[in-house]
Chain A
């Protein structure tokens, strides 16, 4: 009966081996529980959309002030919505691309806060924002916005920070209006406004140039682009030209 005892040991050993192997495989492929990580994706997207919207607002609202968020020294004083002079007698003070870009970034830095802070109102995130610092690059095709905006996000005792954002929108339509304005300024001769000098540009870009004499030596230009809309409002580039020099 020694043969029967030897078999039992092997059976027991085999069962034991099977259990070990089964256990091994089971624990190997079981899903490990995720550690508890803060998801900043929606916040990132929201901030990005705020920056984009604010940049679009900036284009429209700055253009109403001749490209300025904070008007230059040489601007009109008497209107409810003043504009910069692009020409003061013989002095051509048309804003450079750098100035336009700077003014766009000023706008964004000043106003993006009104948008981004809305996110945490409707969520259980707690977000603190630093003061933003933006840089705008303006080309004939695009406006590229680089913003450093430190967002410290807290939720369920987890904290995460995001800070750098890049957004871009097309600049073509805005640029075409400024190019037309440039042409107007360059072709101005004393009190005569050269209509045929800018008509080609205006026609190609779907612009309408309103020209009004607002005092004895100043013209107001309002370049309208009816097919460039933002929140239902048409794009306007407004500026003034003073053909008799004053200090």
Chain B
């Protein structure tokens, strides 16, 4: 019996044992058996019971990987699919085991994991990346890296080149950047230095603890743009020791730019840059809308342009002299390379020991848009040459040696090394400094714009022209300097882009083209020798004349004259009955006033001042030099016949006969002097044989006799408009040839009851011409004001 029980027991064991060792059917959740881990249903089993030390990792389906407790996950045991199924938490604990965070695991979760651990948001891991010892590394392309420590809150990406780009965070501390970091700050970010300084940076890269601009990149640091076109460029901030290689060192004192034999550094200071004063004033206004002189902020001046390229071993230092209120000094050192500055409309190069210049080009045409770039004011010296090159903010330069000017393009305009002078840049600057005068963009009359357009010159006030150039501001300011109470004569100044300037009573019009040295220096429309300041002086004389005429009209009670009133009444009637327009009415009233004024003055024995002078001068030629003049006229006649035979005729379609001195008693005989000159110019241009010789001789003769060039005798509608203005431009020895002109000039100025500066100026010039108060002329003849012109001239 005992034996059977034993046999039965063995039989049961034998029966049960295989069953107990048989695989757990799939549809049955077999409990975990640490001795039979293969029997566990990894598909559907309860993972909470698993002893993970004994688990058969290969049996875990990828879909169940998330069920594996993160701290139990044995990453190294996982296959490809399983790895891809890992959760963020699992990845967190295995970050440094993952060979390629981009493809070995789910990238999005990998990035989430990184963010959880480091508080750094990674937007992309590129093709492949891993983390080693707390450093995220791209493992392809540029293989850049980012140390996690100290970078909480950052947002980065690994791009298709294996480069790490910083995105998003608006502030970065220099102290958070370590030696192993290699990345680029892509978007505009505040970079806070260890010394607390703050710079705005963009596209600035870092590697081995050094900031730099990558090859092919354009970085922006504060108000600098740095272009690494041929090589990377290191960027140093306030370096304590002199760096090496191709670099830019930015400090409070300025810039230091160095290059190697094969290196190039290009840096463009930008509007807003304070080292180079690329700013303008923006003034506050009071409750009446008036600008407040001392209340302003500095804002970027978008018109200021400068580009600096240093290459091939050259060095350039930019030294701030703001404390001395001076413009920056650029100190060049020759290294066998080249240094170039594109400064406004000028180009400056230093190469092979030479300083070369490409001056600003002239503006084309007579009106329309212009190149409004301003230059940057600075001084340049070099160990290569003894000269100093100074530029203004108005496209002017001055070359100096031993402080003495030896070259330039400014035509008498200031080229200053003081910051303040170069900050005169806008109409507001003029308004604040000269509050008695109104400055604006426009023309004296709307019809002026129409005229320009009709003639095809272009618009003198194009829509894009909303602000004057620094050149125009500074020229106007220089001319106005010291002219107190000028608003007596000028209350309005209009600015435009035209190749012209004009002056009428109380109004001055100035065009940009007329104030640009290059544009006026060789223009067929402009007399040789014209300068910007000379032009303004010339127009001022016209304004003075307008003032004098208005005084005369008042003095003779023009508006009370019965004849005048009758004719004015008739004009008004015609206007009211719409026979004439308002424009025609105004124009005809002006002509009427002019006509009656002349008649009244004539009746009082007061001739048109310029006409008298011009005719007197003409008489001098006709009478006292008649023989020489007649010989020349005979030659002119012969030349005119020759020209006609050649089909050249006379200029402006005039008949040959009218050119000749038909009547020496003609009131316009002085105009013939001009006509002869004009025709000689024309025949010279046409290369008629003998014309140039005669033209030169004739011009010389007229100047010897009168002091004037022939053109000054041009009559406009019976008036010699130019004599008065042109006489004022004659140097003293030439002016001495017409003492009656000097007297008239003096009298006319004094008749306006001028401010002190103008009185002094007129008096000084008068006595220089007359040979002094005690000179030979004045000791024998009356000298002083109001001797020739007496109508409104009151000598004190």
Contacts and interface: CB of A to CB of B under 8 A. Distances in A.
B387 A211 contact: no
Contacts of A199: 385-387, 399, 401, 406-407
Contacts of B411: 210, 212
B526 interface: yes
Contacts of A93: none
Given A114-B700, A194-B355, A210 B407 contact: yes
A163 interface: no
A200 B523 CA distance: 31
Contacts of B369: none
Interface stretch (B38-46, B259-267, B565-573, B729-737): B729-737
A212 B518 contact: yes
Which of A77, A106, A214: most chain B CB closer than 10 A?
A214
Nearest to A216: B361
Interface string B568-586: 0000000000000000000
B358 interface: yes
Nearest to B693: A110
A209 B406 CA distance: 6
B359 interface: yes
B346 to A, nearest CB: 9
A198 B357 CA distance: 12
Contacts of B401: 199-200, 202-203
B355 A212 contact: no
B484 interface: no
A146 B736 CA distance: 32
A125 B411 CA distance: 49
Nearest to B685: A77
A211 B357 contact: yes
Given A195-B399, A212-B409, A232-B732, A79 B528 contact: yes
Given A208-B407, A212-B517, A232-B732, A194 B356 contact: yes
A61 B406 contact: no
A31 interface: no
Contacts of B389: 195
Given A114-B700, A208-B405, A196 B359 contact: no
B402 interface: yes
Which of B357, B628, B697, B733: most chain A CB closer than 10 A?
B357
A189 B356 CA distance: 9
B362 interface: yes
Given A61-B696, A189-B356, A213-B518, A80 B526 contact: yes
B727 to A, nearest CB: 15
Which of B349, B517, B523, B696: most chain A CB closer than 10 A?
B696
A232 B408 contact: no
B704 interface: yes
A197 interface: yes
A187 B387 CA distance: 17
Contacts of A192: 347, 349, 356-358
A193 B402 contact: no
A233 B357 contact: no
A114 B697 contact: yes
Contact of B628 (A69, A117, A187, A209): A117
A187 B399 CA distance: 17
Contacts of B732: 232
B387 A195 contact: yes
Interface in A205-247: 207-216, 218-220, 231-233
B474 to A, nearest CB: 18
A222 to B, nearest CB: 8
Given A203-B404, A210-B407, A212-B517, A57 B399 contact: no
Contacts of B517: 212
Interface residues of A, number: 47
B25 interface: no
B527 interface: yes
Interface string A119-150: 00000000000000000000000000000000
B524 interface: yes
A111 B632 CA distance: 12
A70 B733 contact: no
Contact of A213 (B353, B359, B701): B359
A40 to B, nearest CB: 22
Which of A76, A195, A219: most chain B CB closer than 10 A?
A195
A196 B354 contact: yes
A110 B697 contact: yes
Contacts, number: 140
Given A110-B696, A199-B386, A232-B732, A213 B356 contact: no
Contacts of B347: 192
A202 B361 contact: no
Contacts of A34: none
Given A213-B362, A214-B362, A194 B407 contact: no
Given A79-B528, A80-B526, A211-B407, A196 B521 contact: no
A218 B411 CA distance: 18
B374 to A, nearest CB: 17
B108 interface: no
Given A195-B399, A199-B406, A202-B406, A81 B528 contact: yes
A43 interface: no
Nearest to B406: A202
A54 B792 CA distance: 44
A197 B406 CA distance: 12
B360 interface: yes
Nearest to A113: B628
Contacts of B407: 195, 198-199, 202, 208-211
B692 interface: yes
Contacts of B237: none
B359 A69 contact: no
A78 to B, nearest CB: 5
Interface in B703-740: 704, 731-734
Contacts of B693: 69-70, 106, 110
Given A61-B696, A111-B697, A212 B402 contact: no
Interface in A71-121: 71, 76-81, 106-107, 110-111, 114, 117
Contacts of B359: 193, 211-213, 219
Contacts of B360: 213
B176 to A, nearest CB: 48
Contact of B354 (A110, A191, A194): A194
Contacts of A195: 355-357, 387, 389, 399, 407
Contact of B406 (A187, A207, A212, A233): A207
Contact of A114 (B358, B406, B408, B628): B628
Given A192-B358, A195-B355, A208-B407, A80 B528 contact: yes
Contacts of B523: 78-79, 214
Contacts of A213: 358-362, 518
Contacts of A187: 354
A103 B325 CA distance: 51
Interface in A32-80: 57, 61, 69-71, 76-80
B651 to A, nearest CB: 14
A35 B521 CA distance: 64
B71 interface: no
B522 A78 contact: yes
A210 B524 contact: no
B627 interface: yes
B210 to A, nearest CB: 36
A61 B692 CA distance: 13
B647 interface: no
A78 B524 contact: yes
Contacts of A189: 356
- In order of increasing CB-CB distance, the 10 nearest A-B pairs are A232-B733, A214-B522, A81-B528, A192-B356, A196-B385, A196-B355, A209-B407, A202-B406, A203-B401, A212-B521
8 contacts: A81-B528, A114-B697, A194-B354, A195-B355, A210-B407, A212-B409, A212-B522, A215-B362
Given A195-B357, A203-B402, 6 more contacts: A57-B700, A71-B692, A209-B406, A213-B361, A232-B731, A232-B734
